């Protein structure tokens, strides 16, 4: 047998087969047999699992971490809120200084920071250029919209997805934007299983794009916005060596704030 493909799409049941076929076509990847288990599948290194309302990504093989998906209604997302993780990010982007703050999340990833910002009342445009991550994000946003949970529906109504590179956003989508937010880092090193499996997946999908954060920061600093905010590991140097105006420090992360104009 030849080398495994990087990715295959798999319908968990026959009911999801048409969606899986469409995704495999649009992502230009293999379609795996319906219901195949990632631990038993050797023809690809990762499987994008399609079920009724969800996309989940899992590395193939035994002893690999479990699936990762975008679930804004999960207890993990609600815990972030209850644990006060929102406060530092909210302060960094300037929540409360202007009503209905408009933010571009230039590195949306799995959308957790965007969701936190939407929860704080901001309107958020999520930019994600990796087609697989963008597809997961879209599925997670659709699921939230259709959840029937009014709390979730209201938050997701403030979120809009742009599947593509933030640096290529058309100029009209940058009008009246207050803040550009960037999180180019991989999740922090931790023993928490949930973070470990996300990190494994991000590193697998994005292995060739480290260092790109610098170009995105240079682009962001040239836009007509009041602030550019960059999330960094607590003790890391400033991104691209560009000193921020000030930083908001947390235990594991720091938000570097580049103030370009007054907010509001």
* Numbered residues of the known binding site for S-adenosyl-L-methionine: 112-113, 128-129, 183
Binding-site annotation, residues: 112-113, 128-129, 183
Nearer to ligand SAM, 58 or 216 (CB): 216
Contact in structure between 124 and 114 (CB atoms under 8 Å): yes
Nearer to ligand SAM, 2 or 171 (CB): 171
Q: How far is the CB of 116 from ligand SAM (least distance, A)?
A: 8
Q: How far is the CB of 39 from ligand SAM (least distance, A)?
A: 25
Which residues of this protein are in contact with ligand SAM, per CB under 6 A? 106-107, 109-113, 127-130, 133, 165-167, 183-186, 206, 212, 216
Q: What is the DSSP string of 135-175?
A: HHHHHHHHHHHTS--HHHHHHHTTEEEEES-GGG--GGGGT
The residue whose Cβ lies closest to ligand SAM is 109
Nearer to ligand SAM, 105 or 178 (CB): 105
Give the CA angle between residues 6, 9, 14 to the nearest 5°.
160
Query: Which of 160, 169, 164, 163 lies closest to 219 in space, CA to CA?
Result: 169
Nearer to ligand SAM, 13 or 209 (CB): 209
Between CA 229 and CA 264 the distance in angstroms is: 16
Nearer to ligand SAM, 17 or 85 (CB): 85
Q: How far is the CB of 151 from ligand SAM (least distance, A)?
A: 19
Q: How far is the CB of 156 from ligand SAM (least distance, A)?
A: 15
Between CA 152 and CA 145 the distance in angstroms is: 7
Q: How far is the CB of 17 from ligand SAM (least distance, A)?
A: 27
Task: Give the DSSP H/E element, type plus range, for residue 210.
Answer: none
Structure-token pair, residue 61: 């093989």
3-state SS assignment for residue 254: strand
């Amino acid at each position: 047998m030849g080398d495994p493909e990087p990715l295959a799409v798999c319908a968990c049941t026959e009911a999801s087969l048409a969606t899986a076929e469409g995704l495999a076509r649009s992502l230009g990847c293999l379609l795996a047999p319906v219901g195949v288990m990632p631990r038993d599948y050797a023809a690809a290194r990762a499987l994008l699992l399609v079920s009724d309302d969800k996309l989940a990504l899992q590395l193939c093989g035994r002893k690999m971490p479990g699936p990762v998906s975008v679930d804004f209604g999960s207890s993990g997302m609600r815990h972030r809120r209850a644990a006060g993780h929102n406060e530092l990010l909210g302060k960094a982007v300037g929540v409360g200084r202007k009503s209905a703050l408009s933010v571009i999340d230039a590195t949306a990833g799995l959308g957790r920071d965007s969701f936190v910002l939407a929860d704080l009342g901001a309107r958020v445009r999520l930019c994600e250029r990796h087609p697989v991550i963008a597809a997961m994000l879209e599925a997670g946003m659709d699921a939230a919209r259709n959840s029937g949970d009014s709390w979730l529906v209201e938050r997701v109504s403030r979120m809009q997805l742009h599947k593509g590179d933030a640096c290529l956003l058309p100029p009209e989508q940058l009008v009246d934007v207050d803040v550009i937010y960037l999180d180019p880092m991989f999740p922090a090193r931790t023993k928490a299983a949930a973070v470990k499996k996300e990190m494994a997946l991000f590193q697998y999908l994005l292995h060739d794009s480290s260092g790109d954060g610098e170009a995105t920061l240079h682009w962001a600093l040239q836009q007509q916005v009041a602030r550019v905010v960059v999330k960094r590991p607590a003790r890391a140097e400033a991104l691209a060596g560009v000193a921020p105006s000030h930083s908001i420090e947390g235990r594991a992360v720091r938000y570097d704030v580049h103030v370009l104009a007054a907010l509001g």
